[in-house]
Structure 1
Amino acid sequence: MRYYPVFDNLFDDFFTTDAQGTSSVMKTDIVEKDGNYELSIEMPGVKKEDIQMELKDGYLNVTASHNTDKEDKDKEGRIIRKERVSGSYYRSFYVGEDIHTEDVKASFNNGELIVTVPKEAPKKIEENKFIPIE
């Protein structure tokens, strides 16, 4: 039996985090823009109809599924190497309990989901109002 050291870590980092501690799938950039937060979520190979978003208890939950039917095989039908991830993925972002579903906007183009969420408005401090005495 031959030993192939190149495959040692093949499955060790599957669904793990990278050097910055982030997930290897659904990488997200968040920027503040025009009074909103804009989330840019990478979803290569995912179809728009395979993405679901839900706003619950102040959390924006994003779920996507990706299945690849194509497999790279050698002449004998064995898979040589498979690095593309298949399955369901989930990310959750706290956006605040004052945000409602109709406040969230989303678009999907070329493997990138763009979600716009308004910043939570600061709570107003009630001013002392004096009650007139008649």
Structure 2
Amino acid sequence: MNNLVKRTHTFPIFDDFFDDFFQRPLSKNGMNCMRTDIQEVENGYSLDIDVPGYGKDDIKISLDNGYLTVEASQEENKEEKTGHYLRRERFLGTAARSFYVGEDIAQADIKASYDKGILKLFVPKQGTNVKAKQYIDIE
């Protein structure tokens, strides 16, 4: 015998909102985590990082003490708009992600390119010892 009763929701527009609120981790990176695919290739590692909505000039990549940090920053448009938001899911601000690549990797050996919201990085498996913070150019 089945005792389950199907219930209808009075306000279905808010269902996902409250589900997301209670299921989303309450962390600094909950909203702005850059989804990343890391693939090991023959002579290094290939990283594909999602940074949708950011332009090439909004992204900075740095190498400091063996940590490769990708930071994307975008200012909110302060124009006067009519109306108000019922739901706002898009993120504006700063998002950052760091990867430990080792202290033997040189900035010159890391390659970066950006196309259609995806930042592609190549990090070699070996390099020279560099300690100072350096920035990587995006092609």
1:111 paired residue among 86, 104, 117: 117
Q: Percent identity?
A: 42
Please tell me whether the aligned partners of residues 16 and 24 of structure 1 are also in contact (alpha carbons under 8 angstroms).
no
The amino acid across from 1:64 in the alignment is: A
Question: What root-mean-square deviation, in Å, do the aligned CA atoms of Structure 1 and Structure 2 show?
Answer: 3.2
Greater percentage in helix: 2
CA separation of 1:25 and 1:66: change in aligned 2, threshold 3 A: farther
Distance of 2:32 and 2:59 partners within structure 1: 18
TM-score of the pair, normalised by structure 1:
0.70
Instruction: Write out the 4+ residue segments of structure 1 that deviate beyond 6 Å after TM superposition.
Output: none
The amino acid across from 1:115 in the alignment is: L
Distance of 2:21 and 2:77 partners within structure 1: 20
**Paired residue for 1:46?**
54
Question: Using CA pairs below 8 Å that are at least 6 residues apart, which structure has the higher relative contact order?
Answer: 2
**Paired residue for 2:100?**
94
Where do 5+ consecutive residues of structure 2 fail to align? 1-10, 128-139
The amino acid across from 2:65 in the alignment is: D
Aligned 1:66-81 pairs, distance under 5 A: 66-67=74-75, 69=77, 77-81=83-87
TM-score of the pair, normalised by structure 2:
0.67
Cα deviation code 1:7-61 (max 9, x no counterpart): 32454537759xxxx8763100000113110110001111000000110000101
SS of equivalent residue, structure 1 residue 8: helix
Aligned 1:1-134 pairs, distance under 5 A: 5-6=14-15, 7-12=17-22, 13=24, 16=27, 25-67=33-75, 69=77, 77-120=83-126
1:69 offset after TM fit, Å?
A: 3.8
Aligned residue-pair number? 113
The amino acid across from 2:125 in the alignment is: K
Where do 5+ consecutive residues of structure 1 fail to align? 122-134
CA separation of 1:15 and 1:54: change in aligned 2, threshold 3 A: farther
